[in-house]
Amino acid sequence: MNKDFLCLSDWSFDALEKIFALTKDLKSRQKAGLKHHLLSGKTLGMLFEKSSTRTRVSFEAGMFQLGGHALFLAGGSTQMGRGEPIKDTARCMARYVDGVMIRTYSQQAVEEFAQYSSVPVINGLTDLYHPCQVMTDLFTVSEHKQNYRELCYCWIGDGNNMANSWINAAAVFGFELRVATPEGYAPDAGICKRAADAGARIFYTNDPREAARNADVLNTDVWASMGQEAEQQERAKAFADFQINMQLVALADPDCVVMHCLPAHRDEEITDEVIESRHAIIYDEAENRLHVQKAIMATLMG
Ligand code: CP
Ligand code: NVA
């Protein structure tokens, strides 16, 4: 078994399906009010170098529900924020806690941290990936639709951390994925190549309508991610044609579902009307962060 959860393509389909099975079990136990203290007495350290609502709250509440404890460390408040080497921070934290969740900029930093950490490390978002979110998204689709691996998924918008993780997921889970991005905003070329080499069924286009036609799942994210705020205006121009609105939804399967990892900029990348429509499964998606991450933590730290 893997020590860490850094990137979906490090994991096999069978191992990720086991996490889904555990998620289902933990979610039903929580809904029934049954104790599920799989991490009793254990501590998760949470290092955040970027903002968060869902990730922080779901990991912290999740650890509590598992009988453990979570420790919130804002980037600027640690010695790492003042330049202490990652390898020293990683080795010391592993002497105190049973697992670490990190949200930061560079994927390389998370990988270096994991290399020096003797306890499991979970990627809570980097510029390159957001694996916990995409695991959650797939679990959420599986709750709403039969045979989630046989559906047609599409990504509309920026070729960002979410898009890259969807590409990895397409390679591991085998579903069809269509990726529509504006020119110049394609997903990471190395990730696309590795997915293609692994036999992934991914179709790339610059036309959101082509991607959305008859699709079962429409997915998007903000046009400027954390760290790209200065590019907001320039990006708004480049992405103007990539909004998920009712016209785009009308091209997809009549029972399509619409997802967004949140936070959303309503009436930019997705209209308010779509978020409030019967197609959106966005708040189930947000809730499931809790259940899926509990299963990931129990798997790695149990
Ligand atoms: N989707 C997500 O990761 O949300 P936060 O940035 O609020 O954690
Ligand atoms: N792509 C977004 C996701 C936020 C959860 C970002 O990185 O800011």
The rounded distance, in Å, linking the Cα atoms of 114 and 86 is 10
Model confidence at 1, pLDDT cuts 50, 70, 90, reads confident
Distance CA 176, CA 170 (A): 7
Residue 133 known to be catalytic = yes
pLDDT tens digits, residue range 134-181? 999 999 999 999 999 999 999 999 999 999 999 999 999 999 999 999
At residue 128, the pLDDT reads 98
What distance in angstroms lies between residue 222's CA and the mean position of ligand 2's atoms? 7
Each residue's pLDDT tens digit, 245-291: 999 999 999 999 999 999 999 999 999 999 999 999 999 999 999 99
- In which residue ranges of the chain is CATH 3.40.50.1370 found? 8-130+286-301, 131-281
User: Can you name the CATH fold of 8-130+286-301?
Assistant: Rossmann fold (3.40.50)
161 lines ligand 1 (CB under 6 A): no
Report yes or no on whether pTM surpasses 0.95.
Answer: yes
> Rounded mean pLDDT of the chain?
98
* Atom of ligand 2 at shortest range from CA of 127: 7
- State the catalytic residue, choosing from 54, 127, 221, 235: 221
* CATH 3.40.50.300 at 131-281, yes or no: no
56, 103, 178, 235: which one is catalytic? 103
- Summarised one tens digit per residue, pLDDT across range 183-236 is 999 999 999 999 999 999 999 999 999 999 999 999 999 999 999 999 999 999
**144 catalytic residue (yes or no):** no
DSSP letter at 188? P
Pairwise CA distance, residues 8 & 107, whole Å:
13
* Sign of the C-alpha dihedral computed for residues 69, 62, 166 and 170 taken in this order: positive
Spacing, Cα 289 to ligand 1 middle (Å)? 9
